[in-house]
Amino acid sequence: MATPRLRTLAEEQVRQFRLNGFLTVRDVLSAEEIEALAAHTDLIAAGKVAHIPETSIQLEKMFREGTRNITDQVLSVRKLFNLAVYDEVMWSHVTNPRIVDIIVDLLGSDDIKLYGDQLFMKAPVTGTEQPWHQDSASWRDIFPMDLVTAWTSIDHAMVENGCLNFVPGTHRWGMMRHKQLAWFLEDLGSDQWPVVAAPLRPGSISFHHSLVLHQSNANLSGQRRRGYAVHYMRAASQRDESVTDAPKMPPFKQVRGRSFVGRV
Ligand SMILES: O=C(O)CCC(=O)C(=O)O
């Protein structure tokens, strides 16, 4: 079978993604595009965008449970989610051809839908960690388990303020159950399973497979670390309705190409 022509990536980049389960691409978006995204993000977090429901704004636990007082609403938010289905600015990011062309290259398919989106705010000092996980362990109703996330750095994401960390190759292990993950975490960071940090400057994007293990540390620095994670899937994916413990998502919107009867 002929290898499909790549739209934007080099073959070596696709090979790296297949090998490691993640790939970083520098400077996909311009400074102006990132400034607009950053400003809109903070408006949403401040609750000032009327068409975004309150349920799409999740505060850090300490603010939710009142163990710490809110002095700044924006810096109290842990994450914003399901934005693009309601909001044109976020939707135009999701459908940005420079990002979607990369997704098409990584999935080897022209037919793409949006699974969902999450904007992790990770505020200075109060931004908490995201523990080690595989995305498809949550999204376990979607098959095949090869969704791809485009994580756009809005601020400088560094080791100090909690950039993403990956364990290369773990997407080739299949979905790990709780106990299997616990075994593996005991050994993490050893020569066997090295952890790779993915620092990014604003406008750069890391792409990750939905089975690769990843996490981010708490932000103990004085610098913000916002990242917009957009989760794409094949339009030909199946959703298993008998799976009852997966997130309840809004209808999946078409990003590019064809949709298929009876599929997501
Ligand atoms: O931004 C973070 O800290 C976590 C992101 C993440 O887990 C994801 O995009 O799947």
Mean pLDDT of 203-212: 99
The number of the ligand 1 atom at minimal distance from the alpha carbon of 122 is: 3
The number of the ligand 1 atom at minimal distance from the alpha carbon of 151 is: 9
Structure-token match 């292990």, residue found: 173
Angle CA(181)–CA(169)–CA(95) in degrees, nearest 5? 100
4 pLDDT more than 80? no
Mean pLDDT of 39-51: 98
3-state helix, strand, coil in the chain (%, to 5): 25, 25, 50
Q: Among residues of the chain, what percentage have pLDDT more than 90?
A: 95
- Give pLDDT, residue 169: 97
Q: In whole angstroms, what is the distance from residue 186 CA to residue 162 CA?
A: 21
Q: Which of 244, 182, 246 lies closest to 210, judged by CA?
A: 246
Predicted confidence (pLDDT) per residue in 103-141, tens digit: 999 999 999 999 999 999 999 999 999 999 999 999 999
189 pLDDT more than 90? no
The number of the ligand 1 atom at minimal distance from the alpha carbon of 162 is: 3
Q: In whole angstroms, what is the distance from residue 159 CA to residue 20 CA?
A: 20
CATH class of the domain defined by 11-235: mainly beta
Hey, whose CA ends up nearest to atom 3 of ligand 1?
Answer: 216
- Give pLDDT, residue 8: 97
Phi, psi of 202 (to 5 degrees): -55, 135
Hey, whose CA ends up nearest to atom 10 of ligand 1?
Answer: 135
Which of 3-7, 15-19, 123-127 has the weakest average pLDDT? Answer: 3-7
Q: Among residues of the chain, what percentage have pLDDT more than 70?
A: 98
Q: In whole angstroms, what is the distance from residue 57 CA to residue 117 CA?
A: 12
Distance, CA 94 to ligand 1 centroid (Å)?
16
List ligand 1's pocket residues with C-beta within 6 A.
Answer: 120, 122, 130, 135, 149, 151, 214, 216, 227, 229
In the three-class reduction of DSSP (H, G, I as helix; E, B as strand; rest coil), residue 138 is classed as helix
Mean pLDDT of 224-247: 98
Mean pLDDT of 72-87: 98
**Within 74-129, where are the H helices?**
88-94, 97-107
- Give pLDDT, residue 191: 86
Q: Which residues contact 229 (CB under 8 A, 6 or more apart)?
A: 117, 118, 119, 120, 149, 150, 151, 152
1 pLDDT more than 60? no
Residue-averaged pLDDT of the chain: 97
2 pLDDT more than 90? no
Q: In whole angstroms, what is the distance from residue 101 CA to residue 96 CA?
A: 9
5 pLDDT more than 80? yes
Contact between 197 and 159 under an 8 Å Cβ cutoff? The reply is yes
Q: In whole angstroms, what is the distance from residue 200 CA to residue 156 CA?
A: 6
Q: Tell me, what DSSP letter sits at residue 219?
A: -
Label residue 3 by pLDDT band (50, 70, 90). low
Structure-token match 């960071």, residue found: 189
Structure-token match 């290898």, residue found: 3
The number of the ligand 1 atom at minimal distance from the alpha carbon of 120 is: 1
Q: In whole angstroms, what is the distance from residue 259 CA to residue 234 CA?
A: 9
